[in-house]
A and B are shown apart, each in its own frame.
Chain A
Amino acid sequence: MQAAKTVETNLTGATGVAGAPSAESYWLLPMASLWRREVVRFLRQRSRVVGALGTPLVFWVVIGSGFGKSFVLGQPGGSDDSGSTMGYLEYFFPGSIVLIVLFTAIFSTISIIEDRREGFLQAVLAAPVRRSSIVLGKVLGSTTLALGQALLFLLLAPLAGIGLTLGTLLGVAGVLVLVAIGLSGLGFLIAWPMDSTQGFHAVMNLLLMPMWLLSGAAFPASGASSWVGVAMALNPVTYHVAAVRHVLYWGSDRFTGNLPPFWLALLITVVFAGLTIALSARAMIRSKR
C-alpha cells in the first residue's frame, strides 16, 4: 500500500512543490554540501595533496637546516642558559605551519576560478542560495584541508625540539581554524574577480609571499630595519604566526617575549577572518557577472 502511494507522488509535476524547504535549508544545507564538495575534490586530485604538504616540508628542511647554527636566537633577557636558545629549525617551525595553511587555503580558494570556467559556478549562482553560504562553503572547505595538512605537519614538532601535548595540539588546531578562515577569505576575495589562475600567481608572488616573509615566520621583527618593523606590525599574518607561537610555548614565555600579546594576536586573527568573509560575500552580491 505504502509503496503504491510513494509511486503516485513521484511523478514530476509542476504542481507538486517538493517538500517545503525552510529558510535554514537554503543556508546551512547548501553550505555543508559545497563544503563537502571541496574536500572530495581535493582528495581526488593527488597532486594537490602532495604539492601542498611537500612545499613547506622542503622549505622547512632546506632553509631551516641551511641556516643551521648561524642563527641562534637568545632569550630577550640575554640569559646564557643553553636551554633558552633556539635553533633555526625550531624558530622556523611555527612559520612553516602558517605557510602550509597559507598555501592550502589560497590554492583551494582559487578553485573558484576553475568553478567559473568549468561552468559549475553558474548553477550555484542561479540557485536560491544565500551568497554568504556560497562563500562559507568554499572557505570552510579550504579551511578543513588547510587544517588537516597543518596538523599532520605539526606532528613533526618534536623533531624541531618542540614538545607536544594534547593541549597544545588542540590549542594550535583552534588557532589554525581561525587563521585558515581568514586566509581562505582573503584568497576568495582575490580570486573572485579573476578570470585566470595565471593572474593569481602574480598576486601570490607580489602579495602573499611578502606577507608571509614579513610575518615573523622567517626572521623576528627585533633585528629588522624600522620600515620592515612597521610593515610587520601592520601585517595580519604577523598575528597569525604570533598566535601559533604563543600556543606552542604556552605556559613558558621563553620565546614569546618579543611578540604581540596573545589576546591581541587572537583578536586580530578573528577580526581578519570576519572581515574577509564579509567582504567576499559583498563582492559576490555586487558582482555583475
Chain B
Amino acid sequence: MADDPAVQIESLTHRYGQRVAVDDVTFGVDRASLFALLGPNGGGKTTLFKVLTTLLRPSAGTARIAGADVLQEKDRVRRRIGIVFQDPSLDEKLTVLENLTNQGHLYGLSGPKLAQRCRELLERFGIADRTRDRVQQLSGGLKRRVELAKSLLHRPEVLILDEPGTGLDPAVRATLMRHLRELSEQDGVTCLLTTHLMDEAERCDSIGFLDQGRLVALDTPSALKRTIGGDVLTVCTANPAEMARRVKERFGGQAEVVNGAVRIEREKGHEFITDLIEAFPGEMESVTVGKPTLEDVFVHLTGHRLSDSEHAGG
C-alpha cells in the first residue's frame, strides 16, 4: 500500500451534457510531493478536484488516492484526504475553535485528543490568538489558514487544495506555500493543488498543465521551462499582426500575437533585439527580452495565455 502513488488518475473523462470538462486525463502524483494542476479557469481543474474529493462521479475512468478508489471506496478515500476549499468551508457564525471541533467530530475524533490536536494546529498556523473569534470577523488570509488547519485535523495522507492562493496577496500566498512545503517535507503529506497562478505553481515539485480538459504537459517547473529554447521577446507595436507577419518573413521561425503584442521565441534574445530594431526602425514602442516563464511555456503549448483573469480573479 505504501508503494501506491499518492494520487493515480486513469483515463478520467467527465462531461456536463455535451461539454467535455475533463478529457481522458491520466497522471500520477508521488508521495510527499507538491503537485500543481495549472490551467485557465474552465480548463477542467475544478472538475478534477471534485472527482478526487468524492464529490462528483466522473463519466468514465477512475482515480485512486493512496490505493483507494474514489468510486468504490469513498469512505476510505475521505479518511485519507484533507480538503482546502476555494471558498472556505467554515461556518461564519461559529468560532474558529468550534469550527475545528465540529470538523473533528465529523472524522470521528473527540475529547482531549481532539482538543490537543486543535491547539497544535492553531499554533502551527499562527492563529492560536483568534481561537475564540467568530469566523466572520477574520480576514480572507486568516480564513484560509483556519481552513488549512481544519483540513489537517485527521492527519490526512493527501491534501487537496482548490485554488488556495486565489484572493490572497502574493506575500500571504508565499507563506501558504511555505506551510505546504513544510507539510510535505516534515510530515510526508502529499499536496495536490489547482491554480491559475504561476508563482504558486512555480513552488511545486511538478506541474500538470490542464487546458480545455486535456493534460497538455507534466513535468518539473525547470524542465517545463527548458522546452522553450532560449529567450522570449515581447514586442509592443501599433499593428502586431502585421509586425508578426513581417518578422516571420524576414527572419523565419515563429512569431505570434498574444494579448496584443508580438511574441517571439529565440536563442540569444539579446542579439536578436538588435536585428529587430535595425530591421524595423521606429516601428516598435518597446521590446523586452526575458527568460521563459511558466506562462510562456503555457502559451508555447496551447497558443493562449494562462489567465486573462489574473487581476479580475481577485
Contacts and interface: CB of A to CB of B under 8 A. Distances in A.
Given A10-B116, A128-B78, A288-B57, A123 B89 contact: yes
Nearest to A117: B87
A166 interface: no
Interface string A121-135: 111111111000000
Interface string B91-109: 1111000100111011111
Given A10-B120, A37-B91, A45-B93, A18 B85 contact: no
Nearest to A23: B108
A14 B102 contact: no
A118 B91 CA distance: 8
Given A118-B92, A120-B91, A126-B53, A21 B108 contact: yes
Contacts of B116: 6, 10
* Chain B interface residue bracket vs A: 35 or more
Contact of B106 (A16, A44, A45, A127): A127
Interface in B42-87: 53-57, 74-75, 78-79, 81, 83, 85, 87
A19 B109 CA distance: 7
Contacts of A40: 93-94, 98
Interface in A87-141: 118-129
A119 B88 contact: yes
Interface string B107-137: 1111001001100110010000000000000
Contacts of A201: none
B80 to A, nearest CB: 9
A123 B106 CA distance: 9
Contact of A120 (B53, B89, B156): B89
A126 B94 contact: no
Interface string A24-42: 0110011011100100110
A18 B264 CA distance: 54
A126 B108 contact: no
Contacts of A122: 55, 85, 89
Contacts of B81: 126
Contact of A25 (B54, B110, B157, B186): B110
Nearest to A34: B102
21 contacts: A11-B186, A12-B189, A14-B188, A18-B155, A19-B109, A21-B108, A29-B108, A29-B110, A30-B108, A33-B102, A33-B106, A37-B102, A40-B98, A119-B85, A119-B90, A123-B83, A123-B89, A126-B78, A127-B78, A128-B79, A289-B55
Interface of B: 53-57, 74-75, 78-79, 81, 83, 85, 87-94, 98, 101-103, 105-110, 113, 116-117, 120-121, 124, 150, 152-157, 183, 186-189
Interface of A: 6, 10-19, 21-22, 25-26, 29-30, 32-34, 37, 40-41, 44-45, 118-129, 288-289
The 6 closest A-B pairs by CB, nearest first: A21-B108, A123-B89, A33-B105, A25-B108, A128-B78, A127-B106
